[in-house]
Structure 1
Amino acid sequence: MTLPERLWEALRLDPSTVAARARFYRAYAELEEPRVDVRDLAELMRDRPPPGGFGPHVINLIGKEAGAVGQRLREIQRPLGGGPWVRLAEVADALRNAAVAELLLDVQTGRATLLEASRGYSELGLPFGDFLAVAAMGDRERSISAAELLGALLSDSQITDTGLLGSAALSTPAQQRYLLLTAAPDATDLWPRLTEAPQAHRTAAVGATSQPFSTWWRLGSLLSHLESDAEGIRRELARIIVELSEAHSRQLQLAAADDHHWSTGRAQTDLIDLDLAGAVAISARIMRQREIRPWRFESDFPALSPLASISLQIGLQLGDDAPPSDDYLGARTSAW
């Protein structure tokens, strides 16, 4: 399943351009990591060049000069590659960008790539990884674990390291937001504490559309408390989704004003707000899990412009559980 034709018209992008963007990021993710990279060179030059320098014009990162660079870095006791997390993060980011493009073309392909990206982020210890997995396939095991971690966070309990970056990642508003959205399907009993938490009043701008943290916290809190007879909560959820959708639409409009970069698929703004699409997918699964009337685009979001509808449409498709086959996933996990 892909975007309806009217939304492609609103984007003013050729699908082949979007496909090229996906291929670019996929190719980057699958590049073989060089023994020495630009970070190594910067660190080396900060210290001093090796005896004899690097040659008059070009530093060859795969020839004998790479050996000289490596030897000098060992002498100043700096690990090659900038630490074990750097390349992992680069690959995860590249796969995330590839997924954004792929989701516009084929949700199943994009779903599989989201799962690939999620593995890297999770290995780093970032809740964003679990969020992508729960958004892509409704991984209840991760949702339950996130709810336990969220409870510990709200109680100021000691949190042990969960990945290469350690528990410090949870101190950032962005990752706390992902933790809440991931936990929402299994965080019903946390509702009172969520509404009273300091995070409920934070105004820091987060996400692709720079919306207040409190808006996202409110969204996640409402998702955790959504019940079949809670029409007021449903209406409030729809209102927040519309607010976030319109904010992303404004970002797309601004990006499209730069026709050169937009038409060639090189605009800096994400064509899909993955945070919003993922939250919508999670909400759709919660509704199904709790036997709540599902979202109906025409009745729940009647006033949305086509451009503002894109992330919402993708989220509804992601929330329609039809996961990619094991064979397909197995063929796409070599990056890890």
Structure 2
Amino acid sequence: MRKLSLVVLFGGYDRWVRFGPTRLLEASMSGIFAEVVAVINPPYAGYEAMIRQTLTTRSRPMASRIVFSPENNMPLARNLGVSAATGDDIMIWDDDDSVHPTNLRVAYRRYVESDASVMEVVLTHSDESSFHPQDENMMPQMSVAPDLIVLGMVHTPFFVRRDTVCRVAFPVHMALRGEWVDWSTRLWRAGIPTFCYTGLPVAREGDRDRASGATASAGVNGSSLKHVFSSMMFLAYAYEFEPDSFEGKILFRRYVERYCPDCGPDVWCDLLALGRQLRHTSYVLPGYMIFPGAYRHAAEEAYAHCRRELALERDAAYPLVYNIAPFGAFNPEHRQVLEAVLQTV
């Protein structure tokens, strides 16, 4: 019988305190894991002993171990967790993804039955709307060609065989964003299919940890709007995207339809125009912008933020741009893969 290890990634001591007990309880109640490996990203200085103690007391009857990542690098944390795990199969789970124990068992059974090397688990709300952009509503090719490639932009729980990660490790050069796209692309080129299981509902919205960040919140506040608008502008700055371009259409689905459903496509056109105007030394928000009050304020803040970040020379600013979600999907190499996928299906 194949041994299943769980690798859970925690973004520092605070995230461990907030999510650790719930994740370990869900994992223990599912009864499918032989062990759990908790990987703690910085900051955790001074709390190492406390984290080790709580892991030992809260995770019984599973075997457990702790790994401290030396830097805040998600792909590195995944690689460290896989190296520490002993199972033939591994489930990699972010700290803010809440999954019912019964659904964990069902998902693992589907994974074993599929004989897949990698199976992504797309979580859904009770109204069957996904809060991950890997959903077919965001990335249409997934529902019709799940065995070809999964090009997600945000992380989601997934099962993977140990030998697959040993063969194609997670790309540590993408510390914050884009690594899933890079990794799944290399899997595809190596002839390793990636499957997607979408039948794992969250019973009700309250089952999802409400304080877990942008991926968990159905609402949109000013801070998240500023981040979304900054992402759009940065992307338009780097590639001069047009609204009807291939990348523009993907981003429209990723951002505008999700965060600004009451604004329409005009918002997208204005944001791309603002991003392209970042190349100029000075710029005033045009009077024709159609943002309502809250959206306009967020756009103004985002534009000012982008101007500050891009005060550096273009080459020096590139790493800042590259780590804006989901920039990794849109370097030239990945663009060719995306276009090939769409043509295939």
Higher relative helix content: 1
TM-score relative to the length of structure 2: 0.27
Q: TM-score, normalised by structure 1?
A: 0.28
Higher RCO (CA 8 Å, separation ≥ 6 residues): 1
Structure 1 or 2: larger strand share? 2
